[in-house]
Amino acid sequence: MAKTMDETYTIYKDENQPIEDRVEDLLKRMTLEEKIGQMTQIDLSVASFDAIKTYSIGSVLSGGDSAPLKRATAEDWINTVNGLQKGALATRLGIPIIYGIDAVHGNAIVYNATVFPHNIGLGAARDPELIRRIGVATALEVRATGITYAFAPCIAVSRDPRWGRCYESYSEDPKIVQEMTEIIYGLQGESPEGSQNGIPYVGGRDKVAACAKHYVGDGGTTEGIEASNTVVDNAGLYEIHMPAYLDSIRKGVSTIMVAYSSLNGEKMHGHGKLLTDYLKNTLQFKGIVISDWEALDRMTIPPRADYTNSVLAGVQAGLDMIMVPFKFIEFIDTLTDLVKKNYIHMERIDDAVKRILRVKFIMGLFENPMADFSLVNELGSQAHRDLAREAVRKSLVLLKNGKEGDSPLLPIPKGASKILVAGTHAHNLGYQCGGWTVSWQGLTGNDGTRGTTILDAIKSSVHPSTEVVYKEDPDKEFVKSNNFTHAIIVVGELPYAEFDGDSQTLTMIEPGPTVINNICGTVKCVVVVVSGRPLVIEPYIASIDALVAAWLPGSEGQGVADLLFGDYEFTGKLPRTWFRDVDQLPMNVGDPHYDPLFPFGYGLTTDKIILSENE
């Protein structure tokens, strides 16, 4: 006999019911196993229909090296995500998964995506409206692949350029970092007027859940060593590292990721006072507190030395979703055992699961769990590439333009007769994009994703009569014998991410300095530095005619040429202090020993001049 309407009706499946009622209704139907499954986030490499169905897994992510296949298309991604979602929908309660990816400068882990400048460049642009539009575009490109959750923005306030994540920080200045939280409105949509502070908001199927990270103090570690210890008093913590989190919570951010680092010797992943007492209770944040990658393993040295105690400490402190990402059965068994033995109370588990369900309901995942192909053309679209090119133009900082007594070198006339383009970074899209591009540590060369190198941009910008000669590492004889009118030298550092980027020397890669020495002084030269932070440049500065900080501009190298040839003027300002010597570090604006090569906020400009073809 057919069931009656009343017998099949469940509050949690009714989209017309208040979200909190749906959360409570679903929670009371869940077993302990289902609750702990929701708290578990696993990597794509170990995810399957069966694993998700069997363990009621709540979330899957693609780590930096975890695509469905090499050069996967948007359709490939969607099919993969939907295949896993079917496993979630086949569970007893049909709770959909939320799928996350590191879209930290566009959805750049995905092949062919638009790669926007890294955050340090956006901090130089000082344009919250621009960054909001970048958030809109990034959300579309993430949704184009069927993914619903972006681990962005990083709102660290980097106080030391030796830190390998310096480029993920908008600025050393907390006020600029605060302003850049505008990207959350782009990613998630703007919460309706009158929304309660601390309640997450995600505005529809072209938006994603955002993630403010890494809470808190990750940019202040001693000597800039990734995941180490931040020594700071309460005033410093709340004046420097905390303000952007207040703004993110006000803007309805859905999730907050905890930092690997410690605060005054206490691991942030076990810091109950800051995770529960302050973030959840005082600030009334109602979204998900998520761990970083394998963070529970890393709570001890060596990792996993006392895994049970690490799980206990992290969950007790206030973690809601745990990025396991591989050994998820061991995590589930460990947490289950801790609850059954009453080391962790059900109230703590229920708090975690309520937050996870709340975000999933707010996102509309229960109504629309499956991705379709309607947005696939948003991936790497021309409109987004145009926006990225605009962001490049606004992010470049002009540090020098002409030697003393000389007229400015920039802009270079488009009709210059013979231009030398040289340096390690002139024709290398991977170097130009930096870390978190197609893979975790980034890539090298020009075939890893789609974009325009600075060399190709220069060639397309000049008059047809201009001869552009490219030689990565020219010797002095070559330079002298070729009658170049101008030289554009593009140098910098190799791609890196996280601890692989920690550096105590901050030098550009060879043969960068050699190329500068072989060219500058013989030919009028502009040096373009492609890097995730300020590098040692003072030894070469006297010989350089013009100097440009291009940061990590991403896939649209044309934005660099737009400024070199005067189609637009330079407007970027240094988002962080450019040191003279690494021995000065750490050195931030306002410090008593402040003696920079270029101070925070510095940036020359050029008049907007459209040069005629023959000038």
**Predicted confidence (pLDDT) per residue in 20-38, tens digit:** 999 999 999 999 999 999 9
Residue ranges, comma separated, of all CATH 3.20.20.300 domains in the chain are 15-363
User: What's the whole-number mean pLDDT along residues 131-137?
Assistant: 99
Structure confidence by residue, pLDDT tens digits, 1-15: 344 445 689 999 999
Is the pLDDT at 562 greater than 60? The verdict is yes
Residue type, 562: D
Query: Pairing relation of β-strands 262-263 and 266-267?
Result: antiparallel
User: What's the whole-number mean pLDDT along residues 155-184?
Assistant: 98
Structure confidence by residue, pLDDT tens digits, 262-279: 999 999 999 999 999 999
Structure confidence by residue, pLDDT tens digits, 418-433: 999 999 999 999 999 9
Say how far residue 511 (Cα) sits from the centre of its chain: 29
pTM above 0.75, yes or no: yes
Alpha carbon distance 457, 405 (integer Å): 30
Residue type, 29: R
Q: Based on the number of CB atoms within 10 Å of its own CB, is 282 exposed (0-12), middle (13-18) or buried (19 or more)?
A: exposed
More confident residue, 612 or 390: 390
Is the pLDDT at 291 greater than 90? The verdict is yes
380: Cα within 13 Å, side-chain hemisphere:
14
Considering 292, 294, 378, 390, which one is annotated as catalytic?
292
Share of the chain above pLDDT 90, in %: 96
Residue type, 117: P
User: What's the whole-number mean pLDDT along residues 224-251?
Assistant: 98
What is the number of other CB atoms lying within 10 angstroms of the CB of residue 92? Answer: 11
Q: How many H-runs (helices) and E-runs (strands) does the chain carry?
A: 21, 17
Phi-psi region of 492 (alpha: psi -120 to 50; beta: other; left: phi over 0): left
Phi-psi region of 160 (alpha: psi -120 to 50; beta: other; left: phi over 0): beta
Is the pLDDT at 240 greater than 90? The verdict is yes
Say how far residue 217 (Cα) sits from the centre of its chain: 17
Is the pLDDT at 57 greater than 50? The verdict is yes
Q: Based on the number of CB atoms within 10 Å of its own CB, is 89 exposed (0-12), middle (13-18) or buried (19 or more)?
A: middle
Is the pLDDT at 282 greater than 50? The verdict is yes
pLDDT at residue 610 in the model: 40
Contact 177, 157 (CB under 8 A): yes
Looking at the DSSP bridge assignments, the partners of residue 429 are none
Contact 473, 514 (CB under 8 A): yes
Is the pLDDT at 613 greater than 80? The verdict is no
pLDDT at residue 607 in the model: 66
Structure confidence by residue, pLDDT tens digits, 453-493: 999 999 999 999 999 999 999 999 999 999 999 999 999 99
User: What's the whole-number mean pLDDT along residues 599-611?
Assistant: 78
pLDDT at residue 611 in the model: 41
pLDDT at residue 325 in the model: 97
Residue 34 annotated to the active site? no
Looking at the DSSP bridge assignments, the partners of residue 149 are 100, 209
Structure confidence by residue, pLDDT tens digits, 510-542: 999 999 999 999 999 999 999 999 999 999 999
Q: Which residue has the tokens 């952007």?
A: 244
Structure confidence by residue, pLDDT tens digits, 80-96: 999 999 999 999 999 99
The overall average pLDDT reported for the chain is 96
pLDDT at residue 7 in the model: 63
User: What's the whole-number mean pLDDT along residues 282-301?
Assistant: 98
Q: Based on the number of CB atoms within 10 Å of its own CB, is 25 exposed (0-12), middle (13-18) or buried (19 or more)?
A: middle
Domain 396-598: CATH architecture, name and number where available: 3-Layer(aba) Sandwich (3.40)
Nearest to 219 by CA among 176, 275, 270: 176
Considering 498, 545, 556, 562, which one is annotated as catalytic?
498
Residue 206 annotated to the active site? no
Structure confidence by residue, pLDDT tens digits, 180-234: 999 999 999 999 988 999 999 999 999 999 999 999 999 999 999 999 999 999 9
Alpha carbon distance 130, 137 (integer Å): 11
Query: Pairing relation of β-strands 229-230 and 211-215?
Result: unpaired
Q: Based on the number of CB atoms within 10 Å of its own CB, is 46 exposed (0-12), middle (13-18) or buried (19 or more)?
A: middle
pLDDT at residue 3 in the model: 45
User: In CATH, what number does 15-363 get?
Assistant: 3.20.20.300
Secondary structure of residue 178 in the 3-state scheme: helix
Alpha carbon distance 60, 44 (integer Å): 6
Q: Which value, in Å, is the radius of gyration of the alpha carbons in the chain?
A: 25
- What strand order describes the sheet that includes 255-258? 211-215, 255-258, 288-290
Is the pLDDT at 573 greater than 70? The verdict is yes
pLDDT at residue 525 in the model: 98
Alpha carbon distance 284, 298 (integer Å): 28
| Cis check: omega of the bond before 586, within 30 degrees of 0 | yes
Residues 6+ positions from 591 with CB-CB distance below 8 Å: none
pLDDT at residue 5 in the model: 47
Residue ranges, comma separated, of all CATH 3.40.50.1700 domains in the chain are 396-598
Structure confidence by residue, pLDDT tens digits, 340-353: 999 999 999 999 99
Alpha carbon distance 502, 4 (integer Å): 63
Q: Which two tokens stand for residue 17?
A: 């019911």
DSSP code of residue 110: S
Contact 146, 161 (CB under 8 A): no
Is the pLDDT at 69 greater than 70? The verdict is yes
